Structure 1
Amino acid sequence: MTISLEKSSQSSLIFQQHDATWQDYVAVRDNPDIDWRKIAFYQGWLWFDMGTEGLGHSSFRDLMTAVFFVWAFLHPEVVLQSYGGCLIENQDTHACAPDLVLYKGEDIPKWKLGEPRRIILDRHRLPDLVGEIADTSLGIDLDEQKQLYASLGIAEYWVIDVKGMRLFAFGLTATGIYQPIQVSQVLTGLAIALVEQTLEKLAEGTNTAAANWLMQQLQTAN
């Protein structure tokens, strides 16, 4: 088992292997000496990040979760459940732990005593939207991670570029390929440009203030 180490920042240690097996992934997942924060496996690609979460990543992640809550507040008739950071597995083929995990509608996974503390896709349905906060991992999130989520068949994928304050949003086509979208398909009617403007508000103040600004914009529009 050969794993390459990339030190992408002072707070991020990213390990990658391109000829890994599912058993290699499980060995990392269950190793108490490997304190991974993010992990993924797909077609021999094993990736995990042992870095701590930085201020930028944390602030943007919480803001994006707040975006979900703002939309849900204005659409009380729609069932939404957020499971950000939860490990998702498709036995032998896929593993991932998206920063953002959103379910819309019924049949939302619920953990039961004695079950693994993961979303297992042979017993739970796919999320409707997943997203990554790209602080030090933009290249991976727009390449390997994007391929992984498309192959799973997740309807919508967001990548938030922390440094550029941009949101790359993709919708899954009938051919199983992600294409850029301008309006969310899951959070119906939510313009991606408006979410980007919300991200830009972080340069001026707090993530709670940015979420409040988004609420005001959506209420005015409605």
Structure 2
Amino acid sequence: MIELQTQLPTDTWIYTSWNEYEQIITNLLNKNGKSYYYKGHMRLEMAPVSFDHGKDHVVIIVAVTLFATLKGILATGLDTTTFRKTGIQDCQPDVAYYLQERAQIIPTGTGIVNLDRYPAPDLVIEIAKTSLLDDLGTKRSLYEELGVAEYWVVDVQNAQIIAYTMVDQGSKRIQESQVLPGLIIAVLEEALHRSREMSQSEVCTWLLNQFQQK
């Protein structure tokens, strides 16, 4: 059994039972961080979020929400929300969206989203500054099994977005969103590049012009 310590290993997968995992995250409720559980292993990400990570996080949320608004796509976005299949899987992606007929499927007042009761999000996004390889590997497998329709990894270092469509517990790289038809991944990457040189409000104005042209 893993002993509960003040400092637990972070940014790595640790073999543990579900009961131990629940005990650990209960004791860490007052600390900032994210937790994942997959195939009998847990992962904690407790390090402070960097300026670059936080900035790209906001740009992506603004871009997706703006596109959905202009195209009349019903959308509900979630920031670092816990999605759980009790005893099996647990995750806290940086960003998640329920779209169209699912936009209102999770009622107000919900805490942890129970995936034994509700469907997985249509779109999940991880912002990767120090966790890129894990986001592309183990977490991608986790989201495939959860039934997420589309998964993006934002590579903060290179202002790149690696996007996948997911079906039958597999994934395939895409250059245009399937859950947000007409949204070109390269446009979002250009927005990330521009955010290195201009304010987010200016980037939003640029995105507005791009989306209205299409």
State the TM-score, normalizing by the size of structure 2: 0.90
Give the corresponding residue for 2:143: 149
Distance 1:151 1:85, change over 3 A: same
Q: Tell me how far apart the structure 1 counterparts of residues 11 and 2 of structure 2 sit (CA, whole Å).
A: 10
Q: Which runs of 5+ in 1 are unaligned?
A: 4-12
Q: Measure, in 2, the Cα distance between the counterparts of 1:135 and 1:39.
A: 17
Q: Give the conservation status (yes or no) of the 8 Å contact 2:195–2:203.
A: yes
Shift of 1:18: 3.5
| 1:114-154 CA distance string (max 9 Å, x none) | x5x11111222210000100011111111111111011110
- How far has the Cα of 1:24 moved from its partner? 2.0
CA distance in structure 2 between the partners assigned to 1:181 and 1:70 by the alignment: 21
1:21 equivalent in alignment to 2:17: yes
- Count of residue pairs brought into register by the alignment: 207
Distance 1:204 1:81 in 2: 29
2:127 aligned partner, one-letter code: I
The answer to whether the 8 A contact 1:36-1:48 is kept is no
- Name the residue aligned to 1:86: 81
Cα deviation, residue 20, structure 1: 1.4
Q: Displaced runs of 4+ in structure 1, greater than 4 A?
A: none
* Contact residue 16 and residue 45 of structure 1 kept, 8 A: no
1:66 to 58, 62, 66: 62
Maintained 8 Å contact 1:109/1:125: no
In 1, the alpha carbon distance for the partners of 2:188 and 2:156 equals 13
2:6 corresponds in structure 1 to: none
Shift of 1:15: 4.4
**Does structure 1 retain, via aligned residues, the 8 Å contact 2:2–2:20?**
no
Structure-2 separation of matches of 1:162 and 1:212: 21
Aligned equivalent of 2:211, options 204, 207, 218: 218
**C-alpha RMSD of the superposition:** 1.8
Distance 1:30 1:208 in 2: 38
Matched residue, 2:106: 109
Deviations 1:84-103 (A, max 9, x none): 21011011111000001100
Q: Distance in 1 between matches of 2:13 and 2:164?
A: 26
CA contact (8 A) 2:11 2:131 kept: no
> Does the 8 Å contact 1:84/1:102 carry over to 2?
no
Change (3 A) 1:23 1:75: same
Determine helix, strand or coil for the equivalent of 1:157.
strand
- Please tell me the residue identity of whatever aligns with 2:81: C
Matches within 5 A, 1:95-174: 95-107=90-102, 108-112=105-109, 117-173=111-167
The whole-number CA distance in structure 1 between the counterparts of 2:92 and 2:76 is: 16
Partner of 1:59, secondary structure, is helix
Normalising by the residue count of structure 1, what TM-score does the alignment of the two structures yield? 0.87
Q: 3-state SS of the aligned residue for 1:106?
A: helix
One-letter code of the match for 2:120?
Answer: L
Q: Is the 8 A contact 2:81 2:93 kept in 1?
A: yes
In structure 1, the residue matched to 2:178 is 185
Report the residue type matching 1:20 in the other structure.
Answer: T
